[in-house]
């Protein structure tokens, strides 16, 4: 039965945060509700199956270079190949619509040792209709075949929810119901999400599942959530950094959870907390360009609202016995190291004294664990301490990567949130310095932070809809 416009409007309202009481639930609740790949074991050979893939990568010259996300899909795709499904893989590359998945399709074919047919044009966006040539190629494929749809973000409808609000649900519902129904009727009505990093409000991962007859998490994504992600919820040592002050939302959720006992902070997050800490003590602290109104359009800008939020974080943390460790000196653009900032200064790394303070704090944390053995021996690290891609501003990050090994050698589970943190681990450490490094920093922050992971919310809603109709 096709999905109605009214049903899509309700779906979009939930997806866009219009019903927070129902959608902002504990991560465990999402995971309990969503079927796993094994639930599709009875899907017959020859059935077309949509696979939302983790395709956003830049493959190097040989397998193993720049293709970790593609390799994460191998077990799920092999599962479908063995069962004779006609798997239709789709997703995006980059944020720009002109990107192509031609190299991705070739590399993924090499990984699974099976050719992949790339369909370059598959949607008539003027009518929101799947093109006949795409439908014919899928229906004519042999059992066990792999087909890939070209970059979904080439179509504006894939990106229509990026800036949408709950109030936009009514005007978008008809068109997006049509899109979801077109996928179900002309491509496949069985859906697998094997795209851990696909944390944006792309229609391929949040709207299409609404019309599916069956849906499930792929092997890799399920394993990441059921194992490492849930372990990170128990982190008692948290290291947070980043350029954008909006990460304060995630830090606030982590602190409010009440598990953390020590939080080490750098970047713009630290600027907000430094300012807030001084104000709570009846003092003042200039955070430089980060609070200069002339820099308001920059991602590192810290607004008054964010400083107030940082005050709330500090208050809540102190009530929960959290110790906050903040930088005490900074490296500026000209290489100078300073403990005070003028209104035009922008800090691009933590200074050497801060690195010493952070290292001492790690030692003190390990001593705390010895005194309180009931504390979970779990550490979570996200982000980098400065503009680490520039050699002049990477020393703070480089020094702290060594602390990963120190923690792990002391018996800690150490998790790195992927993204820049994962790149820093590659640059300055080794994989065995940590217990696990995720391939998707944004998704990890959503899972541990204040907002639900969009594709988990979609799959949970889909499972609930199917259950209510069974």
Per-domain boundaries in the chain: 5-226+452-469, 236-375+378-411
HEC letters along 311-351: HHHHHHHHHCCCEEECCCCEEECCCCEECCCCCCCCEEEEC
The reply to whether the predicted model has a pTM over 0.75 is yes
pLDDT of residue 466: 56
CA distances from 45 to 40, 116, 143, 192, 212 (A): 11, 18, 6, 16, 18
pLDDT of residue 467: 53
DSSP category for residue 24:
-
The Cα–Cα gap between 245 and 268 comes to 6
The Cα–Cα gap between 444 and 290 comes to 26
Pairing mode of beta strands 48-53, 190-194: parallel
Confidence of residue 419 (pLDDT cuts 50, 70, 90): confident
pLDDT of residue 461: 95
Confidence of residue 9 (pLDDT cuts 50, 70, 90): very high
* 18 burial level (CB within 10 Å; 0-12, 13-18, 19+): middle
Q: Element (H or E) spanning 379, and its range?
A: strand 378-382
Domains 5-226+452-469 and 236-375+378-411 fall in the same CATH topology: yes
Structure tokens at 11: 């779906």
pLDDT of residue 386: 87
The Cα–Cα gap between 296 and 116 comes to 47
pLDDT above 50: residue 391: yes
Please provide the average confidence, as pLDDT, over all residues in the chain. Answer: 93
For the chain, the straight-line distance linking the first and the last C-alpha, in angstroms and rounded, comes to 13
pLDDT above 90: residue 42: yes
Confidence of residue 365 (pLDDT cuts 50, 70, 90): very high
Cβ-Cβ contacts under 8 Å for 400 (sequence gap 6 or more): 239, 355, 358, 385
Other CB atoms within a 10 A radius of the CB of residue 95 amount to 11
Q: Could you read off the pLDDT of 280-289 as tens digits, one per residue?
A: 999 999 999 9
The Cα–Cα gap between 324 and 315 comes to 11
Cβ-Cβ contacts under 8 Å for 234 (sequence gap 6 or more): 259, 376, 378
pLDDT of residue 444: 85
pLDDT above 60: residue 271: yes
Dihedral sign for Cα atoms in the order 300, 303, 305, 310 = positive
The Cα–Cα gap between 468 and 5 comes to 18
The string of DSSP codes covering 36-95 is BGGGGTTPPTT-EEEEEE-------SSTTSS-HHHHTTHHHHHHHHHTT-EEEEE--SSS
Q: Report, as an integer, the average pLDDT of 364-384.
A: 94
Structure tokens at 369: 């664990």
Confidence of residue 470 (pLDDT cuts 50, 70, 90): very low
Structure tokens at 451: 């907002």
DSSP category for residue 433:
G
* Angle of the 74-82 helix axis to the 102-112 helix axis, nearest 10: 70
CA 355 to chain centre: 27
Radius of gyration of the chain (CA): 23
Structure tokens at 13: 């309202």
The Cα–Cα gap between 286 and 390 comes to 25
The Cα–Cα gap between 416 and 36 comes to 25
39-60 in b/e burial notation, b at 16+ Cβ within 10 A? ebeebeeebbbbbbbbbbbebe
The residue count of the chain comes to 470
The Cα–Cα gap between 373 and 389 comes to 38
Instruction: Tell me the percentage of the chain whose pLDDT exceeds 90.
Output: 80
The residue ranking higher by pLDDT, 6 or 250, is 6
Q: Element (H or E) spanning 204, and its range?
A: helix 203-206
Pair 438, 417: CB distance under 8 Å: yes
Q: Could you read off the pLDDT of 120-174 as tens digits, one per residue?
A: 999 999 999 999 999 999 999 999 999 999 999 999 999 999 999 999 999 999 9
Of 3.40.50.1260, 3.40.640.10, 3.30.565.10, 3.30.300.30, which CATH number belongs to 236-375+378-411? 3.40.50.1260
Residue 176 sits at the vertex; the CA angle it makes with 148 and 144, to the nearest 5 degrees, is 25
CATH number attached to the domain at 5-226+452-469: 3.40.50.1260
């Amino acid at each position: 039965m096709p999905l109605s416009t009214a049903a899509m409007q309700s779906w979009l309202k939930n997806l866009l945060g219009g019903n927070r009481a129902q959608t902002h639930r504990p991560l465990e609740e999402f995971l309990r509700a969503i079927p796993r790949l094994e639930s599709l074991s009875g899907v017959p050979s020859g059935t077309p199956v949509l696979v939302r893939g983790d395709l956003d990568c830049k493959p190097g010259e040989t397998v193993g270079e720049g293709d970790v996300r593609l390799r994460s899909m191998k077990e799920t795709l092999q599962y479908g190949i063995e069962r004779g499904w006609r798997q239709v893989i789709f997703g995006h590359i980059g944020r720009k619509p002109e990107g192509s998945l031609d190299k991705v399709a070739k590399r993924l074919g090499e990984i699974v040792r099976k050719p992949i047919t790339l369909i370059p044009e598959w949607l008539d966006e003027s009518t929101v209709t799947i093109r006949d040539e795409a439908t014919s190629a899928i229906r004519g494929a042999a059992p066990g075949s792999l087909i890939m749809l070209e970059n979904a973000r080439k179509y504006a409808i894939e990106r229509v929810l990026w800036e949408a609000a709950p109030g936009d649900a009514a005007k978008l519902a008809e068109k997006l119901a049509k899109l979801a129904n077109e996928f179900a009727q002309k491509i496949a009505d069985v859906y697998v999400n094997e795209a851990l990093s696909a944390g944006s409000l792309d229609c391929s991962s949040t709207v299409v599942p609404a019309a599916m007859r069956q849906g499930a998490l792929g092997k890799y994504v399920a394993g990441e959530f059921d194992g490492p992600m849930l372990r990170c919820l128990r982190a008692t040592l948290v290291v947070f950094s980043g350029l954008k002050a909006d990460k304060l939302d995630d830090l606030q959720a982590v602190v409010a959870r009440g598990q953390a006992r020590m939080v080490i902070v750098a970047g713009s997050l630290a600027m907000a907390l430094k300012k807030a800490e001084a104000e709570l003590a009846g003092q003042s602290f200039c955070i430089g360009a980060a609070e200069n109104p002339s820099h308001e359009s920059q991602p590192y800008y810290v607004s008054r609202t964010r400083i107030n939020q940082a005050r709330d974080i500090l208050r809540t943390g102190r009530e929960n016995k959290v110790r906050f460790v903040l930088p005490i000196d900074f490296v500026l653009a000209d290489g100078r190291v300073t403990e005070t900032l003028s209104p035009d200064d922008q800090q691009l790394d933590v200074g050497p004294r801060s690195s010493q303070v952070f290292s001492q704090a790690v030692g003190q944390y390990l001593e705390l664990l010895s005194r309180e053995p009931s504390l979970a021996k779990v550490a979570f690290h996200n982000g980098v301490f400065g503009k680490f891609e520039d050699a002049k501003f990477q020393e703070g990050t480089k020094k702290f990567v060594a602390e990963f090994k120190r923690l792990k050698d002391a018996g800690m589970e150490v998790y790195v949130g992927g993204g820049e943190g994962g790149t820093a681990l590659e640059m300055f450490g080794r994989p065995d310095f940590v217990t696990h490094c995720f391939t998707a920093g944004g998704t990890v922050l959503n899972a541990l932070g204040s907002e639900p992971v969009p594709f988990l919310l979609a799959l949970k809603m889909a499972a609930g809809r199917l259950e209510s109709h069974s």
